[in-house]
Structure 1
Amino acid sequence: MARALRQHVDEEILDRAAALFAQHGFEQTSLKALADAVGLSKAGLLHHYPSKEALYAAAQRFSAVRCGQVVEQVADLPPGPARDRRVLELLTDTALDRPGLVALLFRPVTTPEAHNADHDALLARLFAIDPSDEERLVRVTGALGALAVLSLAAHYRGEVTAWRPRIVETCLNALGHPSAG
């Protein structure tokens, strides 16, 4: 029981820290702002993570693990609408559960200095993107942008459960797949 509580606390800390890192970048996020966001003193936060760098690295790893789980769950699905739907369902569930992690994950889409080849490779694995298919890349980027904005709006409005299917359908439409209903 204590271990599960500790894991939940760590995930909450990582999610809130990831949100700040995504919003302000690593350099512009202070240790005090991180501690305030998670409801701890700086000393209390440093008890969990020895430095801002360690917290950032842990948030990045947690985000990568969550994405790796999605990749594993869709690896056997062939490219196409069914795979896209499953990826979007899994990413939406993660975004609604841990919005900070998803904001950090999507930061390379919205922030040019955060863009990197690892992020492109992740998108290629998730959505089976052919690097030469620029239309598909634009559609995936649009779908992920919609997912990020809509999942945050759902949180702010307290409509997580009601909005989930609408978020998935909106993202599928962005990918060019006809709506199921």
Structure 2
Amino acid sequence: MTETTSAATRKGTAPTAKRKPRGEYAKSAATRTAILDAALEVFAESGYRAGSLREVAERVGMSEAGLLHHFRSKSALLLAVLDHRDALARELVDFELPDGVEALRGLVALARHNALIPGVVELYCTLSAEATSPTHPAHAYFVNRYESVRASVTASFQRVADSGRLMPGVDPGRAAVATIALMDGLQVQWLLDAESTDMAEALAEAFRAMVSGFDLAGIEQVLDARSADAASVTAADNTAEIPDASAGETA
């Protein structure tokens, strides 16, 4: 509720516009989440260009027209999928933590988690390269994302510096750029040859060179919590009522 409630409502007069029942909001949110999960799977398996809206729709039991009720185009769905992926990643990395070292540990946890989802990693790597073209639908997304991540990782390294744990000569901004470049480069090498590198360990080794006493204390708990969250979400999705195609098309 906002502070701009109308006078008629404050006096008890029924508002002229009917509000959507809360249950319908929840159902719509569940449907959008199911679509995003399915789209992430389809794009990860087939690539963005080859992955079709029809296949995404079929995985959630609706028609393509029903899907377009929630996402007006394939480009809009792609951007929502990328945001969805970022939301999942933020469950492992909290850049708001006062202890910058904890945020860096979160990045290692993310690298370890990414080793379990090669299709998603491949999708991200492919899209980030393609999106260097200003005409790509995800160009603005990746420009903004890199800017945001650089700022967040820089702030984490700055908090490490403020605590006296950053190695002499290490600049927080340059360390952030190097960290992002390392993570992206490791993903490409790992996709080409999974046996060539352990992404999480390579990242942790880099942090040990930049942060005094860096260790992975608590990282298993972070990953266990992520697994538990994923299991609970899956269970909720399995019991959620997903509207059929006709409901999506007429809403």
Query: Which TM-score band (shorter chain)?
Result: 0.5 to 0.7
Structure 2 residue matching 1:54: 3-state secondary structure: helix
Query: By how many angstroms is 1:145 displaced?
Result: 7.0
Provide the rounded CA distance (Å) in 2 between the counterparts of 1:90 and 1:139: 13
1:49-68 alignment runs, 5 A limit: 49-64=71-86
How far residue 13 of structure 1 moved from its aligned partner, in angstroms, is 0.8
Amino acid at match of 2:41: A
Q: Are 2:201 and 1:173 equivalent residues in the alignment?
A: yes
**Cα offsets for 1:115-146 (capped at 9, x unmatched):** 54334324424433734777534433367679
SS of residue matched to 1:74: coil
Which residue identity is paired with 2:143?
A
List runs of 5+ in structure 1 lacking aligned partners.
Answer: 149-169
Is the CA contact 2:109–2:200 (under 8 Å) kept in the aligned structure 1?
no
State TM-score, norm by structure 1: 0.55
Residue correspondence of structure 1 range 96-135 to structure 2 within 5 A: 103=120, 107-111=123-127, 112-115=129-132, 116-128=142-154, 130-131=173-174
1:83 aligned onto 2:103: yes
Task: State the aligned residue count.
Answer: 154
Structure 2: how far apart are the matches of 1:6 and 1:147? 37
For 2:36, which of 14, 19, 25 is the aligned residue?
Answer: 14
**Please, which runs of 5 or more residues in structure 2 have no aligned partner?**
1-21, 133-141, 155-171, 192-197, 209-214, 221-251
Q: Distance in 2 between matches of 1:147 and 1:6?
A: 37
8 Å CA contact 1:84, 1:172 repeated in 2: no
> Contact (CA 8 Å) 1:49, 1:55: kept in 2 or not?
yes
C-alpha separation between the residues in 1 aligned to 2:44 and 2:31?
20
Partner of 2:137: none
Which amino acid counterpart does residue 202 of structure 2 have in structure 1?
A: A
Higher helix share: 1
Higher relative contact order (CA 8 A, sep 6+): 2
Query: 1:67, CA displacement in angstroms?
Result: 5.8
Q: What residue identity is the alignment partner of 1:174? A: A
- The worse-fitting range, judged by mean Cα deviation, of 127-136 and 116-125 is 127-136
| Two-structure CA RMSD over aligned residues (Å) | 4.5
**Conserved 8 A contact 2:111-2:200:** no
Cα 1:108–1:93 change in 2 (3 A) is closer
Which TM-score applies when normalising by structure 2? 0.43
C-alpha separation between the residues in 2 aligned to 1:78 and 1:143? Answer: 25
